[in-house]
Amino acid sequence: MGERSRRFGIVLCALGPTFSLFSAVQAQELPGIGGPDTLQAVASDRWHQWGTLGDLRVRGDFVDGLPGGREVQRGRSFLRFGAAVTPLAALELGTAGEAALGSDHNSENRINNDNETSDDFNLDLLYGRWRPRPELEISAGRNALPFLLTPLTWDDDLRPDGGTIAARLPSGDFDAWRLAAGWLGVRNLAESWARLAAVQAGFSWRDGGPRGADARLAYLYWDHVDALVADGLARTNATRNARFVSDFRILDLQLRWRAQLGPVPSVLHGEWVENLGADAASTGVRAGLVLGDVGAHGHVQVQYFYHRTEQDAVLAAFNADDWWFHSRLRGHRGSVSLALGRRTILGISGSLERRDDLETWTKRLLLDLRVDLSS
């Protein structure tokens, strides 16, 4: 561990001088730590436009209270970088690679419930995106999902392969409907590919404004998932005879209320998940409050979320790994994020969670630095 820790420290020191270069690139707003991934090219009306894609993520991870008295102390870093080009006005092509380096070993990723390997180099993006109309987008290849999902059901750092279609339909002067559908192959640490068919419909009252509301309903149909058990990725889902006990046919309802508390933007979140393919332990809920934003230098964002996820409410191989346990848990997570610049966010978050079959609470502290490299 000592040699790997020194190697991780050398990488961080080497990355330091590059931050000044990043700040000179055209600014783009970043989400808060733990927020939705926005690794997308900026749409352009000019033909043959090109730009960079990517981000740098550096994390310190400290966990205690794990089963068997185990503790975790590690550093992880991920650098994603590539480019996108628009050879035609309505067509965008993009590709990016991802390099990862951590102080732990890849052999520990499964026991640590990770979704990405600590040491790796892989193809992160390879996609084509066609916009035949301003309100319609068709995408194929390896790309981020166009669905607006939360850490309860999906990890936004994952890159599935397949095809999607998404539309935004204005309603009146200020409101909008959103529709999306896709058929995808998904894997993370596994050798096998799971299949995901998904649809989502949503309505935004005063879309994008500081005051308003959003409602989203999604259906996630998972198939070819039993190979995850042999791959060691059943995690907290129930299994029997090397197969999952439940199917995963997940209905996900999200509600958000946007308001202004004086000068401070705020969002109240509520989410309910039901696995229609499970006979028991099929429900999950997520509730939270976000105050502030990180859209400009010096801005601060504070978040709190509560999770209660029964054992087979979600497919635990593919939801977010910011929580230590992926299902069969209840817990609290809070975070504070600071915008160091228009492209750099520093965050600290902590969680207190308990697996249903344990008496002890697991405590986790995450220190995150994220720099956007997209232009």
Give the 3-state DSSP-derived string for 312-368, with helices as H, strands as E and coil as C.
Answer: CCCCCCCCCCCCCCCCCEEEEEEEEEEECCCCEEEEEEEEEEEECCCCCCEEEEEEE
Residue 33: phi and psi, rounded to 5, are -60, 130
The answer for residues whose C-beta is within 8 angstroms of residue 142's C-beta and 6 or more apart is: 123, 124, 125, 126, 127, 159, 160, 161
Tokens of 330: 């209840």
Q: Identify the residue whose tokens are 């069969």.
A: 328
pLDDT computed for residue 126 by the predictor: 98
Q: Which of 20, 30, 23 is nearest to 299 (CA)?
A: 30
* DSSP code at position 26: P
Can you tell me the distance from the alpha carbon of 309 to that of 285, in angstroms, rounded to the nearest whole number? 6
Tokens of 135: 């309100």
The answer for residues whose C-beta is within 8 angstroms of residue 154's C-beta and 6 or more apart is: 145, 147, 318, 319, 320
Can you tell me the distance from the alpha carbon of 226 to that of 280, in angstroms, rounded to the nearest whole number? 18
Would the pTM of this model clear 0.85, i.e. be above it?
A: yes
pLDDT computed for residue 260 by the predictor: 95
Do 194 and 188 meet the contact criterion of CB atoms below 8 Å apart?
A: no
Buried-state track 338-374, b at ≥16 Cβ within 10 A, e below 16: bbebbbbbbbebebebbbeeeeeebbbebebbbbbbb
pLDDT computed for residue 31 by the predictor: 35
pLDDT computed for residue 9 by the predictor: 54
Tokens of 275: 């696995």
pLDDT tens string, the chain, 375 residues long: the values are 455 555 455 445 434 433 333 333 333 333 333 433 333 434 444 456 889 999 999 999 999 999 989 999 999 999 999 999 999 889 999 999 999 999 999 999 999 999 999 999 999 999 999 999 999 999 999 999 999 999 999 999 999 999 999 999 999 999 999 999 999 999 999 889 999 999 999 999 999 899 999 999 999 999 999 999 999 999 999 999 999 999 999 999 999 999 999 999 999 999 999 999 999 999 999 999 999 999 889 999 999 999 999 999 999 999 999 999 999 999 999 999 999 987 999 999 999 999 999 999 999 999 999 999 998
The answer for residues whose C-beta is within 8 angstroms of residue 241's C-beta and 6 or more apart is: none
Tokens of 117: 């390997």
pLDDT computed for residue 5 by the predictor: 52
pLDDT computed for residue 6 by the predictor: 53
Do 66 and 72 meet the contact criterion of CB atoms below 8 Å apart?
A: yes
Give the 3-state DSSP-derived string for 27-93, with helices as H, strands as E and coil as C.
Answer: CCCCCCCCCCCCCCCCCCCCCCEEEEEEEEEEEEEEEECCHHHCCEEEEEEEEEEEEEEEEECCEEE
Can you tell me the distance from the alpha carbon of 17 to that of 13, in angstroms, rounded to the nearest whole number? 8
Do 179 and 198 meet the contact criterion of CB atoms below 8 Å apart?
A: no
pLDDT computed for residue 54 by the predictor: 95
Instruction: Report the first-to-last Cα separation within the chain, whole angstroms.
Output: 37
Buried-state track 56-65, b at ≥16 Cβ within 10 A, e below 16: bbbbebebeb
pLDDT computed for residue 89 by the predictor: 87
Do 104 and 118 meet the contact criterion of CB atoms below 8 Å apart?
A: yes
Can you tell me the distance from the alpha carbon of 106 to that of 115, in angstroms, rounded to the nearest whole number? 11
* DSSP code at position 188: S
Q: No. of H helices and E strands in the chain? A: 3, 18
Can you tell me the distance from the alpha carbon of 275 to that of 282, in angstroms, rounded to the nearest whole number? 5
CA distances from 311 to 65, 151, 221, 239, 342 (A): 20, 16, 17, 11, 40
Can you tell me the distance from the alpha carbon of 30 to that of 171, in angstroms, rounded to the nearest whole number? 27
Residue 317: phi and psi, rounded to 5, are -75, -20
